[in-house]
Amino acid sequence: MADPKQKPPNKPSDERRTHGLVSIAVPSDRVTRPVFGRHGFAGGALVVDWPAIVGSAVASHTLPIGIKFPPKERTEGSLTVKVDSGAFALEMQHLEPLILERINGYFGWKAVARLKLRQGPLPDSARASPKDAVPGSPSNAPLPAGESLAQVEDPDLRAVLERLGRLLAK
């Protein structure tokens, strides 16, 4: 006789079962977590939401690189931020208390205690918004998975998925 606690083999697991619409954050988190996790970003939400957290003016000159926490802790970490110029690094030093407040407000606890600034060029994808892309530029080149993206009806979602694919392909 079958064990009543065991699930029947022909039913999908609860993890794969969907009841209606599913937020894009659910499947994308499964893809991005291993990549961002190597840099201390649990799900990559800080990187994705960086412009909303610090504002577009700061985000256009900066990019979060990684978070280092004390051993066995998830508080009082150091966030390493790449800054595109020395002049803006000085500005970031003055804005540090405000930026830390915004980051910790985003997390809901004191996740970051200090910023470590690294000066260097930012990737083109971090600087340019999707609306700044020039038609025919390499960043607008179709992806090999374009056929499967053609099934996505929402043009904004399709554009976001294409950008994600290009970033992951680099």
For 44-100, the pLDDT digits (tens) are 678 888 999 999 999 999 999 988 888 988 888 999 999 999 999 999 999 999 999
Looking at the structure, tell me whether residues 149 and 114 fall in a common domain.
Answer: no
Percent of the chain past pLDDT 90, that is, above it, reads 29
Classify 112 in phi/psi space as left (phi over 0), alpha (psi -120 to 50) or beta: beta
Kindly state whether residue 19 falls inside one of the protein's structural domains.
Answer: no
Give the pLDDT confidence of 22-47 residue by residue, as tens digits: 555 555 555 555 544 444 455 567 88
Sheet bearing 112-119, strands edge to edge: 62-68, 77-83, 112-119
Structural domain contains residue 73: yes
Decide if 126 is inside a domain: no
In a domain, 133, yes or no: no
Mean pLDDT of the chain: 74
pTM above 0.85, yes or no: no
Query: What is the span of the domain harbouring residue 49?
Result: 25-119
Note whether 36 and 111 are same-domain residues. yes
Pair type for strands 77-83 and 62-68: antiparallel
Quick one: 59 and 103 in the same domain? yes
In a domain, 88, yes or no: yes
Tens of pLDDT along 101-113? 999 998 888 989 9
Number of domains into which the chain is organized: 2
Residue 161 above 90 pLDDT? no
Q: Is residue 127 part of a domain?
A: no
